[in-house]
Structure 1
Amino acid sequence: MLLCFPVQVTAAFNHKIMYRILFILIASLSILPSIGMAKQTCVPESQCIEMDNWDLGVAIGWGQKSNPLKDFNDIPLFFIPTIAYYGKNWFFDNGNLGYTLAEQESFTINLVTSYSLDRAYFYRWDPSNVFLERSSQMPTKTTTNLALTTEPEAEFNTLETRNFTMLGGAEAFIYTRLGIIRLAYTHDMFNVHQGSEAQIKWSNGWELDRFIFEFALIFDWKSQAVVDYYYGVRPSENAYWSEQYQAKSGWNKGAEITTRYVLTDNWDLLLAVRYTQIADEIAASPLLIQDYSRTYFIGAAYRF
Structure 2
Amino acid sequence: MWSIICARIKIILSNSCVLTLFIFSVPKAQAKQSYEDIYQTQSGWHLGMATGYGKIDNPIHQGNDIPLVLIPKIEFYWGDFALNNSQLIYTPWQNDSTTFSFLTRVNEDGLYFIDDLLSASAGAAFLQRPLMSDGGPNQQGNKTAPALMRGEIERIDDRKISVLAGMEVNHDWNDWRISAAWYREVTNYHHGDEAFFSIAKAWRGQSHLWLTSLEWQYQSEELLQYYYGTRLADWIAGFSRFRPNSALNTSIKISYRYDISSHWDFIAEARIQRLDSMLNASPLLQQQHLFSFFTGFAWSF
Q: TM-score, normalised by structure 1?
A: 0.82
Maintained 8 Å contact 1:35/1:82: no
Structure 2 residue aligned with 1:151: 147
State the distance in 2 between where 1:20 and 1:159 align.
24
Residue 91 (1) aligns with residue 82 (2)? yes
Is the helix fraction higher in 1 or 2? 1
Given residue 58 of structure 1, which amino acid in structure 2 is its aligned partner? M
Question: Structure 1: which 5+ residue stretches go unaligned?
Answer: 3-18
Quote how far apart the aligned CAs of 1:159 are.
1.7
Structure 1 residue aligned with 2:186: 189
Given residue 125 of structure 1, which amino acid in structure 2 is its aligned partner? D
Given residue 188 of structure 2, which amino acid in structure 1 is its aligned partner? N
Quote how far apart the aligned CAs of 1:113 are.
0.7
Residue 103 (1) aligns with residue 94 (2)? yes
State the distance in 2 between where 1:71 and 1:266 align.
40
- CA gap 1:153/1:190 in 2 versus in 1, 3 angstroms: closer
State the distance in 2 between where 1:142 and 1:159 align.
21
Alignment of 1:143-222 (within 5 A): 145-146=136-137, 147-148=143-144, 151=147, 153-156=149-152, 158-177=155-174, 179-222=176-219
Given residue 213 of structure 1, which amino acid in structure 2 is its aligned partner? W
Given residue 31 of structure 2, which amino acid in structure 1 is its aligned partner? V
Maintained 8 Å contact 2:199/2:213: yes
Structure 2 residue aligned with 1:79: 70
State the distance in 2 between where 1:289 and 1:243 align.
14
Identity %: 25
Alignment of 1:238-277 (within 5 A): 238-239=235-236, 244-277=241-274
- CA gap 1:228/1:267 in 2 versus in 1, 3 angstroms: same
Maintained 8 Å contact 1:234/1:242: no
- CA gap 1:260/1:272 in 2 versus in 1, 3 angstroms: same
Maintained 8 Å contact 1:235/1:242: no
Residue 43 (1) aligns with residue 31 (2)? yes
Alignment of 1:15-54 (within 5 A): 21=12, 28-30=21-23, 33-36=24-27, 42-45=30-33, 49-51=41-43, 53-54=44-45
Partner SS state of residue 204, structure 1: strand
Structure 2 residue aligned with 1:303: 300
Quote how far apart the aligned CAs of 1:240 are.
9.6
Quote how far apart the aligned CAs of 1:177 are.
3.4
Superposition RMSD in Å: 2.8
Residue 123 (1) aligns with residue 114 (2)? yes
Residue 137 (1) aligns with residue 110 (2)? no
Quote how far apart the aligned CAs of 1:43 are.
3.2
Question: Structure 2: which 5+ residue stretches go unaligned?
Answer: 138-142
> How many residues are treated as equivalent by the alignment?
280
Q: TM-score, normalised by structure 2?
A: 0.83
State the distance in 2 between where 1:95 and 1:175 align.
24
- CA gap 1:178/1:20 in 2 versus in 1, 3 angstroms: closer
Could you give the per-residue CA deviations for residues 94-144 of structure 1, whole angstroms, max 9, x where no partner exists?
Answer: 211111121122311011111110112122323655434452323455896
State the distance in 2 between where 1:223 and 1:263 align.
43
- CA gap 1:198/1:234 in 2 versus in 1, 3 angstroms: same
